[in-house]
Amino acid sequence: MSDPRDFNDAESEEEDDFNPAPADMSDDEVKGDAEDDEDDNEPNGKESTAARKRPITSQHNEDGDEDEDEGANEGNEGDQEEDEDDEEEDDDEDEIQGHRRKRRRDKRNAFFDIEAEVDDEDEPEDDEEAEAENEGFIEQEEPGDFGDAGRLESDRRHRELDLQRDRMNHEDLQKEAESFVRKYGHRRHARGMGDTSVVPQRLLLPSVDDPTIWGVRCKEGKEREVVYSITKRIQEKMGTKDELGITAAFERGGPNSIMKGLVYVEAYRQTDILQALDGMLNVYPRTKLLLVDIKEMPDLLRVQKTPTLEPGAWVQDITENGLDVRVRFIPRLDYGVRDESLSGTNADGKRKRPMMGPKPPQKLFSEVEARKRNPRNLTGNPQTNVWTYNGDQFEGGFLVKDIKIQHLVVNDVSPTLEEVTRFTSGGEDGVENIDLKSLAASLRDSNATTTYLPNDVVEVYEGEQKGVIGKATKVQADIVTLEVTEGELVGQTIDVPTKGLRKRFQLGDHVKVIGGSRYRDELGMVVKISEDRVTLLTDQTNTEITVFSKDLREASDIAGQGSLGQYSLLDLVQLDPTTVGCIVKVDRESLVVLDQNGDTRQIMPSQIANKLPKRKLAVAADRTGSEIRPDDVVKEYGGMGRQGKIIHIHRSYVFCHTHQTTENAGIFVSRVSSVSTISAKGGRINAASSGPDLDAMNPAKKLNPTGRGDMPPPRQVFGRDKLVGQTVTIRKGGWKGLLGRVKDTTDTHARVELHTKSKVISVPKTDLMVRDSVSGREIKNYENRRPGGPNGTPARPQERAAPDWNGGSRTPVTASSARTPAWKTPSGGAGGRTPAWGRGGDGGRTPAWADGSRTVNPYDGSRTAYGSGSRTPAWSSGGSKTPAHDFGSKTPAYGGSGGDAWGSKTPYGASAATPGANGSDSWGYTPGASGSSTAYDAPTPGASLLGAPTPGGLNAPTPGAYNAPTPGAPTPGGGWQSGWGAESAPTPAAAAPTPAASGGGYYGAPTPGAYTADTPGPRYTDDD
Amino acid sequence: MFFLYNLERRVTLHPSYFGKNMHELVTGKLLKDVEGTCTGSYYIISIMDTFDISEGRILPGSGLAEFTVGYRAVVWRPFKGETVDAVVVSVNQHGFFAEAGPLRIFVSTHLIPQDIKWDPNATPPQFTNNEDTTIEVGTHVRVKILGTRAEVGELWAIGSIKEDYLGTLQV
């Protein structure tokens, strides 16, 4: 125990010189301190060294004891006598303090003379050394010893005197000591309450005279153990021959200390250290010892506050030795995938390096996986769900392991709430076994990352200002200046450290997630707030997430669509050559994509081949054949029957968005063939329309509302098939090219009486070509005129051409070219009529079309009985490419006779002949037949299409349009039929009035008469 | 809340419509374009009248004429804290969606009284407290709007029925 001190004494001779009574005390104190040192060996080692120095330095001041503590002092008093003995031994040769010296001499004399007498009353003087000295004296005196009584007598008296003096002297000393104690003891006591700073610190600093400190390498983490074993060794060796020559040992290890792996030993000589540490575990004195500079010694002992770990969030419990922590965490296991490569050896016998690469992902321990890969290393109990695998223990999927504190990062750990909840939900019974509150608190401490910005609404939840709510106006480091907005302090500005602050939100606030959360950059509305956990409903996916309020901040009102690089939500992307997908979720670094097969997958942006630009004009046909386009609302047929708005059409897949579900951001994928239109965007009726809907607001229509906007109702099939009796050629089959006459028809077939051979054959109507019975010219689009079958038989080429032709108004060139011949080669009579367009006046008016209707008649002249006529107009109209032109033709101006025309329009298709009336004419007359006329009437361009000669084909897709025509209008049926015959009779009458006016000469007013004359009715009759 | 609001809009007209009734056409087009739309924070419910139709200016390049039209419209702006009646359109375990006119409102389970619970086994699935309150598709509810969010062409709101006098409406 007293080793250090003894050592000290032995070594420092100079110190001994100053060893009067007070010095004893100080010496004692050193002893006590040394004891302390060894006992606790704490970082307060500094104190001990300082204390040790103190007596040395302070003796010079005569102030030696001022720092000693009382107890030690009192004890010293008691011991004083004994101590003095020691002193005497030591001080034999001392010559500095005169009175002592003298006294010694006296003592010796006394001893010499009356040894036995004074023995017990004086201090014990039986030391060998003393005796030796005495002997010396005796020897000296012997020569002068004559032994007479008088001398003896005087001697005795002398001795008595001496003894008296001695006694007095002794008493003086005692008194002196007591007075010192009184004086300084009090003083010391008075200022002893730790006010050591009065002593200049520099006087306490180590000097060259003090032992030096050496740093000795040891095993990291074992520092404290080493110190313990040094202490133990000191105790063992104490009092033996080979006492250790070191004065102190301490360590400054710690997880984050730069002094870890070192033990500091104080000694006068390096060899003492080597000796003391020889053969000790975990410490390596043979390596180079680091001599600590005198200047650095105090720094070495500076105390740092170490973070304290508390069981809870991340650390489960602390083991006894205070060095290890039992930690529960989610392991990163690969279940031996890499171990194999570890255990395997290469041909050259060298171990393969473990595969480098990303760490395996964090995952709860899976018994199944482990069993699959490495069953031998797995033991455990499925009941308790505690497993041992490869020497590690797993509880409920978590790896539980003792880990050295210094290997843990405890500062600035910011787990995401998700991570935390994983631990929380680990409880078997669902009870939270981790206190979220304490965790939140521990997180708050590390909220260095929390950022407050001006205008953040914050709340003080800790400290004096607890409960204050305000708006941050200034943020400086970790001090936030806030303007109080609620409560008594309204209007005041206060400074608060961020530590006690949290952001404050209200239900319904639109917020953005910032910071370390997994949900970073999500936007949403707050639906719940509890403490500092905020639940919000995300904008993108309508799901609820919970984050810490520190990770939130108020978002601008405009919700930015989530995007990652060039990819943003709902984009269509190409995943591989055959797969496309729609982005349904954008995370910080990855995207979730719903591919065309309905699978979702999470991908990195780099896995996207390219982004498909949105095709606004993409078109597809739904299961009913209706056109669908982006933004149309469709419904799945069968399946889940989902209904949604189309956002992408890609080949045969549609990606739709629905509000019904939040899954995949409401996106679902379907095949075009399995959806049907619910509503088309903007009430589009016909797919063909794009661009401004010119008809809708056409002033011309508005001016003449009656019946204008309507299309004739679908033709009714009345009477006999008009094909009957027509001259036809056969286009296909074994009878191809033969001429004949139709005797009878069914819906699809005609019985044709061949001219060449008296035979009646049955031929599909589609294989027939109608010819003019006189000229032999082909009559195109005959079908359109025909009330019967053709309607449903768009297959017929001519008919197919028809739509084009109609479209002709739009693509005049082709259409016209196709048709031109027909109209250019009007049969005589018809030719006469065609002039309309050739004719100056009419031509100007684009009468062409009106004429057309007439021209048609190659067959029966002006009558246009055959739809073909009606077609021509289109042709003419085709001349003007702009649809407007069409309208122009329709313009009332043109129709000038508008009202009349109307009248004339009467079914009496004849009116058609009158160009003037034309507009109206075509109208009445066209019913269905003349594309142009219909176009005219029809409010929608679509309609005009329909009007097209091929009513059949058109009808199918857009029956509505077709039907549109108001019945109020001159019943087309009537008109139509009238055109054909019997019924024409009544109409003509109507027609008569108008045309009559116009007279034959005037083209504009095609003489109805003439026209009438032409009426097919008669014609047919003739033919027949 | 409904407001009468004076607004202005530029309307373009195709040349084919140029004529004496252009103003009617402009008005018509305005109605068509504007009524029922959402402009960020409010819906334009109806246009009362137009005034101050400017002279048309031909836009270079397209030939369209542009008119600046001032009009007065009834607009509806949902406010935070406003109470509205709505019809439930979809229900899931996170809450339900309701529509108040054009506005979709989401009411989260957090904002539904505790005793009204999600019952996935009912047909149709519903929120119910097994007493007088049942919330399923088609139910009329009175909702307090807690927050609104503007998206392109639509508004969104979250609402609460966790207060007195809110919740289902007895029909």
Q: Which amino acid is at A966?
A: T
Q: What is the mean pLDDT of residues A351-361?
A: 52
Give residue A416's pLDDT: 58
What would the pLDDT profile of A981-997 be if each residue is shown by its tens digit?
333 334 333 333 433 33
Kindly indicate the confidence band of residue B141, based on its pLDDT and cuts at 50, 70 and 90: very high
**Phi, psi angles (nearest 5°) of residue B61:** 100, -45
Q: What is the mean pLDDT of residues A456-477?
A: 82
Q: Which residue of B has its CA nearest to A886?
A: B16
Please tell me the predicted confidence (pLDDT) of residue A920: 38
Which residue of B41, B91, B143, B158 to mutate against A (max A Cβ within 10 Å)?
Answer: B158
What domains, with CATH codes, occur in chain B? 2-76 (3.30.1490.120), 83-168 (2.40.50.140)
Question: How far, in Å, CA of A952 to CA of A946, rounded?
Answer: 9
Both tokens of B86, joined, read: 């709505």
Per residue in A46-85, pLDDT (tens digit) is 444 444 444 443 344 444 444 444 444 444 444 444 444 4
* CB-nearest partner of A697 from B17, B89, B90: B17
Contact A525 B151 (CB under 8 A): no
Nearest residue on chain A to B146, alpha-carbon basis: A508
Q: Which of A535, A544, A698 sits opposite B16 (nearest CB)?
A: A698
CA distance B169 to chain A (A): 23
As a whole number, mean pLDDT of residues A164-168 equals 85
Q: Are A543 and B94 inside 8 Å of each other by CB?
A: yes
What local confidence, expressed as pLDDT, does residue B73 receive? Answer: 94
Q: Sort out which chain B residues have CB atoms less than 8 A from A507's CB and list them.
A: 111, 146-147, 160
Within 8 A of B146 by CB-CB distance, chain A residues are 507-508, 525, 527
What residues of chain B have any CB closer than 8 angstroms to a CB in chain A?
Answer: 14, 16-17, 19, 21, 24-25, 28-29, 80, 89-90, 92, 94, 97, 104, 106, 108, 110-111, 145-151, 156, 158, 160
The two beta strands, A398-404 and A667-671, are: unpaired
Best residue in A505, A506, A507, A693 for a mutation probing chain B (most B CBs within 10 Å): A507
Segment A22-36 mean pLDDT:
44
Q: Does A529 touch chain B (CB under 8 A)?
A: no
Kindly indicate the confidence band of residue A1018, based on its pLDDT and cuts at 50, 70 and 90: very low
Q: Do B94 and A525 touch (CB under 8 A)?
A: no
More confident residue, A359 or A922: A359
The pLDDT assigned to A648 comes to 92
Whether pLDDT at B52 is above 60: yes
Average pLDDT, chain B: 89
The complex scores an ipTM of 0.77
Among A508, A543, A694, beta carbon nearest to B146 = A508
Q: Which residues of chain B lie closer than 8 angstroms to A659, CB-CB?
A: 89-90, 97, 104
Window 866-905 of A: residues touching B by CB (8 A cutoff) are: 884, 887
Q: How would residue B74 be classed by pLDDT, with cut points 50, 70 and 90?
A: very high
Distance CA A28, CA A48 (A): 13
Give the distance from residue B100's alpha carbon to the nearest chain A alpha carbon, in angstroms.
Answer: 15
Query: Is A660's Cβ below 8 Å from some Cβ in B?
Result: yes
Q: Look at B94 and A544 and tell me if their CB atoms are within 8 Å.
A: yes
Rounded mean pLDDT, A109-129: 50
Half-sphere exposure of A580 (CA within 13 A, CB side): 20
Q: Is A695 on the interface with B (CB under 8 A)?
A: no
Give per-residue pLDDT as tens, A854-906. 444 444 444 433 434 344 343 443 334 434 333 333 434 343 333 333 433 33
Q: Which helix (H) or strand (E) holds A600?
A: strand A600-603
Q: What is the pLDDT of residues A793-806, one digit of tens each?
A: 333 444 333 333 44
Instruction: With beta carbons under 8 A apart, name residues in chain A contacting B148.
Output: 508
- Indicate whether this model's pTM tops 0.80: no
B160 contacts A537? CB cut-off 8 A: no
- How many Å lie between the alpha carbon of B4 and the closest alpha carbon of chain A? 24
Q: Give the residue from A434, A186, A440 showing the smallest Cα distance to A315.
A: A434
Please judge whether B160 and A507 are an interchain contact, meaning their C-beta atoms are less than 8 angstroms apart.
Answer: yes
**CA nearest neighbour of A600 among A669, A670, A538:** A669
Is the pLDDT assigned to residue A15 strictly greater than 70?
no
Average pLDDT over every residue of A196-222: 77
CA dist A1007 to A373, A825, A988, A998, Å? 100, 22, 11, 6
Dump pLDDT digits (tens) for A536-557.
888 777 778 888 887 787 776 5
Res B171 pLDDT > 90: no
Q: Choose the weakest-confidence range: A54-58, A152-156, A373-377, B139-143.
A: A54-58
A527/B contact by beta carbon, under 8 A: yes
Q: What is the dihedral of CA A161, A167, A172, A173, to 10 degrees?
A: 130
Rounded CA gap, A814 and A785, in Å?
22
Q: What is the mean pLDDT of residues A144-165?
A: 77
Chain B contact present for A705, CB below 8 A: no
CA distance B73 to chain A (A): 22
Using CA coordinates, name the residue in chain B closest to A539. Answer: B149
For residue range A236-280, list pLDDT tens digits in order: 888 888 888 888 888 877 666 777 788 888 888 888 888 888 888
CA dihedral A815, A820, A826, A830 (to 10 degrees): 40
Q: What is the mean pLDDT of chain A?
A: 62
Q: How far is A885 from chain B (nearest CA, A)?
A: 10
Confidence at A350, pLDDT banded by 50, 70, 90: very low
Which residue in chain B is spatially nearest to A560 when comparing CA positions?
B151
Query: How much is the average pLDDT of A335-349?
Result: 45
